[in-house]
Amino acid sequence: MNQLSTNWPPSDSRDRGGPAQPLLTVNVLRKYFPIRGGALGRVRAKVHAVDGVSFTVQKGETLGIVGESGCGKSTVARLLMRLMAPDGGEQIFDGDEVAAQGGISVRDLRRQVQMVFQDSASSLNPRMPVQGSVAFGPMALGKPKAEAMALARELLGKVGLNPVLFGGRYPHELSGGQKQRVNIARALALSPRLLILDEAVSALDKSVEAQVLNLLQLLKRDMGLTYLFISHDLGVVRWISDRVMVMYLGEVVEIGPSEQIYADAKHPYTRALLASKPSMNPDERREEPPVTGDPPNPVNPPAGCRFHTRCPHAEAVCSARAPQLGSNGAAAHLAACHMQEPASGHSGAVRH
């Protein structure tokens, strides 16, 4: 693998080692999509896509986001990039509030946060050789062409594509895995501090997926990057993430260190999701039945705990009152379930 020149990425912006410091903090983020109808196109209802989501990503870590299709993972990602405006909440990037007076502008945020999507083909311009695609962002920000092209060659090498062999190729001349490597190089060309990977390896064959995951780990270590890794594949998320956040119907139901989430999940939804995951180990203990059926309609989410309509442990309190994210053990491991609150009134509530 090629070495990058010493002046890239800029040494002052990397997030290596040291005590944990937040790079990104999100407080009570909300996005409701209007559903319009009738001749006048009036708003008839709203999809509660992201509903009060709060979390922090520490510098240098990988936070995985998991949950069933439609739970709001991609909407969170798009909100973080400000590809759409939130309806509420606050986003703080490296100490500065996004789009607030005296904070960080959306333009600056979009340079420091880059995203890689699942669909590697449509992210690339089909009429542009890949070296040009990688150089495009830096040139748009004013880097002279010769420098941007040199950076593109360097980055293609960094993602494992020989720039002499691949730089002049068009996207249709590349495999899916190669295209995704180009997309990663393109994202890195703007020297981001946070990379959001939204189902970025989901369309790849398992062997190619493993190569790209290994590449991501190497890049993260070499460049001091921070990742937000969104996937429906719990095995992949476990492998790559330091911490994992579980979403259900627009809300966070559990968040904690990866090993604790996988070994000792607190929320029945997380346990049901894990039970739905195919296992190679026939002796693996599965206390919860796999999650079945479809999630409720996000236009009218159930009152109380949104999972209560599918939860085998649901009691009256679960539909009466929404549980708060909290911990009954390790402070870093939080779950929103009445069984985790000693005084909730649920018969299965933990006692201390």
Q: How far is the CB of 301 from ligand ATP (least distance, A)?
A: 10
Least distance from ligand ATP to the Cβ atom of residue 152, Å: 30
Nearer CB in complex with ligand ATP: 154/198: 198
C-beta of 49 vs 253, nearer to ligand ATP: 49
Q: How far is the CB of 51 from ligand ATP (least distance, A)?
A: 10
Q: Residue 266 Cβ, how far from ligand ATP at the closest point, in Å?
A: 21
C-beta of 74 vs 180, nearer to ligand ATP: 74
Give the residues lining the site for ligand ATP (CB under 6 A).
33, 47, 49, 67, 69-75, 232, 298
Tell me whether residue 12 is exposed, middle or buried, using C-beta atoms within 10 angstroms of its C-beta: 0 to 12, 13 to 18, 19 or more.
exposed
Q: What are the contacts of 149-157 at 24+ separation with CB within 8 A?
A: 151/8, 151/189, 152/185, 152/189, 154/2, 154/4, 154/5, 154/8, 155/4, 155/185, 155/188, 155/189, 156/130, 156/131, 156/182, 156/185, 157/1, 157/2
Q: Which is nearer to ligand ATP, 45 or 275 (CB)?
A: 45
Q: Which is nearer to ligand ATP, 163 or 298 (CB)?
A: 298
Given the structure tokens 């293609």, which residue do they identify? 156
Nearer to ligand ATP, 47 or 200 (CB): 47
CB 54 within 8 Å of CB 30: no
For the CB of residue 309, give the shortest distance to ligand ATP in the complex, in Å: 16
As measured in angstroms, the least distance from the Cβ of 291 to ligand ATP is 14
Nearer to ligand ATP, 69 or 292 (CB): 69
Q: 87, exposed or middle or buried, with CB in 10 Å at 0-12, 13-18, 19+?
A: middle
Please report how close the Cβ of residue 88 comes to ligand ATP at its closest, in angstroms. Answer: 16
Smallest gap, in angstroms, from Cβ of residue 71 to ligand ATP? 4
Q: Are 119 and 203 in contact (CB under 8 A)?
A: yes
**Please, what is the minimum distance in Å from the beta carbon of residue 295 to ligand ATP?**
9
Residue 116 or 151: the one with the smaller Cβ distance to ligand ATP is: 116
Give strand pairing partners of 226. Answer: 194
Longest dimension (CA), the chain: 68
**Nearer to ligand ATP (CB atom), residue 74 or residue 178:** 74
Distances (CA, A) of 314 to 34, 221, 231, 318: 30, 43, 27, 6
